[in-house]
Amino acid sequence: MQYVYSLPASPSFVDKGLVGYDFGPLNQKDVEIIYIDAARGHDTFLISKRVVRIYYILAGNGHFTIADSRYEVCAGMLVEVPLRTEYCYSGKMKLIAFSTPRWSGGNDTFTKWNPDVVPWGNITCAADDGSWLTQLARSRIFGKSPLRAYLRLNQRLWNKLPTTVAALGLTRSYGSFLHGVARLDGVRIQDFSTHFFRNRPQLELIRRLAERRTKGDTLKVAVLGCSTGAEAYSVAWAIRSARPDLKLTMHAMDISSLVVEVAKSGVYSLAGSPLFRLMTDAEFVELFDRDRDTVTVKPWIKEGIDWSVCDAAEPDIIDTLGSQDIVVANNFLCHVDDSTADRCLRNIVRLVGPNGYLFVSGIDLDIRTRVASDLGLNPVQELLDEIHEGDPSTRNCWPFHYAGLEPLNKSRQDWRIRYAAAFQRVSPTEADSNSSKQRNETDMLSLVSES
C-alpha cells in the first residue's frame, strides 16, 4: 500500500491562469489533493453542487471572491468554500486544494469568466452582426438568457431523438439552425485540451504523405497551437515510425508559454490525465518510458522538435518558421471570433509551401470553405470521411456547442470542400483554376437556392 506521494513531475492539468498537480489517486477514495501553482488565478467563477473545497495558501497572495464578497488572502490562510456558492480566486499564489468527494465531470457549473484571468472573456463573442438574433443572444430576463433556456430545452429533446429521426434532412437543417444559435450565444475561449492520437485517420493521412517522399528527403512540418505537445508527438511518431530515413524538422508552437514548457519537457503525469485515453497499450509502450506515475516521450520521437511561443495570427510567422511541407492547425480557430479565424487561417496558409499540405480542423466550416475557395486550396479527398468522423469530441457536441462539428452531409453540393480537413496548396496557375471552379460551384449553389 502506498503511504507517501511525491509531487507529479508534470502538471495534471494546465488552465489559463494556473497549473495543477494532482496527488494520487489516494487510498482515501473520496478525497482529492491538488497542488496549484496560480500565475493569475482560476479562469472562471464556479459553483459546485457536490464537491466541498478547502484551500490552504502556501505562498503568495491574492483574493477569493465568495458569494459576491471579496476576501484578501496570503500565505498561511485557509479558505473553506461551501456547496452551491459561487466563488473564484485571483492572484499569484501557491495553494493546496482539498476536495471531497473527488472531482468528476458535471460537479461544477462555470458561471462567468474571471476578468483577472480572462479579461477578454465577456467581450469575445461569435458574430456581432447587430441582427435581432444577436440582440436576443445578449438579452437577459431576470438575469437569465432566454436563448440559453431555449437551447437547453432543445438539447433535452434532441438527446431523445431516435437515430433514424436524427438522420433526416429536416432534423439536420434544424440542427444547423440550433448550431447557429449556439455559435451566437457561446462565449469563445481558448482551452488547452488535447490528446495523443486525437484523430487517427488524420495521422494515417500524414503517414501516407510521408510514405510518398523519396528516400532520405527532408520533411518540414509545423504544428500550430500545439498545447502540451500530444499532437506534435503523435505526428512525429506517425512520420518517424513509417519513414525513419526521412529528415524530419518539426516546429511546434503555441501562444501560451505555460503549455509550451510542458510540451518541451515531454514529461506527463498519469494521475487523472485524459491525454492518453485514446491510445492502445502497445502504442503507449512505443511512445513512452514510464517511471511510476510519470511518463516521458521516447528520445527517438522527441529529438529535433523545435518548440516556441508564437501567435499563429502574427504576419511574421512565415519569417520565423519558413515554408513547410505539412502545416497542422487544429482545434484553436473555433475559439476565436469569425473575422479573427478568417484572418488567422489566411496567415497560416502562407506557411504551406508549394504542393504542401494544410491540416485544419476545429474551425467553423463556413470560414474554412470560404478561405480554401478564395485561396484555391485543393481539398484532399483521401480519407475525407474518416478524418471528418475521426475526433468524436467535436462531433459529439454538435449542435449545442459553438465548436461542435456538423455531421457529414453528402447531399450538399459543396461537400467535397466543406468537409475536407486536409488541403493541398497547388501552384498558382492551378490555384486560379481551382478557385474559379470552386467559385462557379458556389454560384451554381446560390442559383439553386434562389430558384
**Contacts to ligand SAM by CB under 6 A:** 190-194, 198, 224-227, 231, 254-256, 259, 311-313, 330-332, 344
d(CA 9, CA 159): 40
Measured from the CB atom, the residue of 179 and 198 that comes closer to ligand SAM is: 198
Measured from the CB atom, the residue of 14 and 384 that comes closer to ligand SAM is: 14
Measured from the CB atom, the residue of 312 and 352 that comes closer to ligand SAM is: 312
Provide the residue type at 247 as one letter: K
Strand runs (DSSP E) across 24-122, as ranges?
Answer: 32-38, 44-48, 52-66, 69-74, 78-81, 87-100, 108-113
Asked whether 298 and 291 are in contact (CB, 8 A), the reply is no
| Closest residue to ligand SAM, based on beta-carbon distance | 225
Positive or negative: CA dihedral 365, 368, 373, 377: negative
d(CA 246, CA 240): 8
Asked whether 114 and 41 are in contact (CB, 8 A), the reply is yes
How deeply is 402 buried, as exposed, middle or buried, from its count of CB atoms within 10 A (0-12, 13-18, 19+)?
buried
User: At its nearest, how many Å lie between ligand SAM and the CB of residue 190?
Assistant: 5
User: At its nearest, how many Å lie between ligand SAM and the CB of residue 16?
Assistant: 9
Measured from the CB atom, the residue of 22 and 261 that comes closer to ligand SAM is: 261
d(CA 172, CA 394): 16
Asked whether 379 and 420 are in contact (CB, 8 A), the reply is yes
Measured from the CB atom, the residue of 129 and 319 that comes closer to ligand SAM is: 319
| Residue 437 in grid coordinates | 471552379
Measured from the CB atom, the residue of 136 and 255 that comes closer to ligand SAM is: 255
Q: Is 289 helix (H, G, I), strand (E, B) or coil?
A: strand
User: At its nearest, how many Å lie between ligand SAM and the CB of residue 400?
Assistant: 18
Measured from the CB atom, the residue of 391 and 406 that comes closer to ligand SAM is: 391
Measured from the CB atom, the residue of 146 and 322 that comes closer to ligand SAM is: 322
User: At its nearest, how many Å lie between ligand SAM and the CB of residue 401?
Assistant: 13
From the list 28, 23, 26, 1, the residue with the least C-alpha distance to 12 is: 23
User: At its nearest, how many Å lie between ligand SAM and the CB of residue 317?
Assistant: 9
User: At its nearest, how many Å lie between ligand SAM and the CB of residue 51?
Assistant: 24
Distance of CA 343 to the CA centre of its chain: 19
How far CA 284 is from CA of 9, 276, 277, 278, 287, in Å, comes to 18, 8, 10, 10, 5
The residue with cell 496557375 is 429
Measured from the CB atom, the residue of 16 and 220 that comes closer to ligand SAM is: 16
User: At its nearest, how many Å lie between ligand SAM and the CB of residue 333?
Assistant: 8
User: At its nearest, how many Å lie between ligand SAM and the CB of residue 76?
Assistant: 34
How far CA 33 is from CA of 65, 118, 267, 277, 405, in Å, comes to 21, 25, 21, 22, 35
d(CA 199, CA 231): 9
User: At its nearest, how many Å lie between ligand SAM and the CB of residue 226?
Assistant: 6
